[in-house]
Every structure is written in structure tokens, then in C-alpha cells.
Amino acid sequence: MKMLNQVKITFAGRSVNEGFARAALAAFLVQLDPTVPQLADMKTAVSEAVTNCIVHAYPDKIGPITMTAAIYEGGIVRITITDRGIGIPDIAKAMEPMFTTGDAEERAGLGFAVMQSFMDKVKVSSTPGRGTRVTLTKRLDARA
């Protein structure tokens, strides 16, 4: 699969930067002329991934979050969100709907489920104490 274009940005794990990540992704993807629903799906998935970093990866500090977006032949978009936070000890458990390590009063535990519902593929890798990488993949269908 041949890469056609790529962008990589690193920003502080602050709540205000979740919107920045969504906007930066949208600006990069404009070159594919995505439909509004396609763009909304990817922005929502990125929002969930970045929010997970802010809330869970860095619970007691502000750390770096890196977003890489790449466009491949055939309209395939791959977005990777990486942090250097506390990591996830049990990925399978963390991906279960309704599971949260945060305050159950404030968190629904649906972040990964939301990502999976909007993207074709979601891959999570993590090492406790070293961080997490979430890779989101979506094929944009050509417009008729």
C-alpha cells in the first residue's frame, strides 16, 4: 500500500487541544474531498482517542500526545494517536463497553466502542508505564 501524504503533530495533553486535533485532521483530509459524514466519523474517533490520552494516560500531569495521519492509495486513511502515559495493563478489558478507570459518575466507558463504530479498524497497543498507541483506519469510498 503506497502512502500518498502524511502529517505528524505533537501537542500537550490539555482539553483545549482535543478540538485542535479534530480541526487539524479535517484540514489535512480536505485533499480527499470527504463527505461530511465521513469527516464527522473520523473527527469523532480522533476526539475519543485524544480524550482518552488526556483523561487516562496522564491522570496527574500534562504530557505529550502525537497524532499522525496518513493517506494511502485507494482512499485509505490511517490515523495514529500516541501518548507516553501510564499505559493500559489489560487492553481487552479496557475495550469492553462501559469499562472505565475514571470516575464512573463522569465517564461512560464507551471511548473505544465509539472509535470502533466510526472506523473500519481500531488497533490498540500499550505498555504499562510507557504509553499507548491507537491506530484508526478508514477507507473513504469514492463519491458517485
Catalytic residues: 48, 52, 107
Judge residue 7's burial from the number of C-beta atoms within 10 Å of its C-beta, 0-12 exposed, 13-18 middle, 19 or more buried: middle
End-to-end CA distance of the chain: 23
Cα–Cα distance, 61 to 54 (Å, whole number):
9
Cα–Cα distance, 143 to 118 (Å, whole number):
18
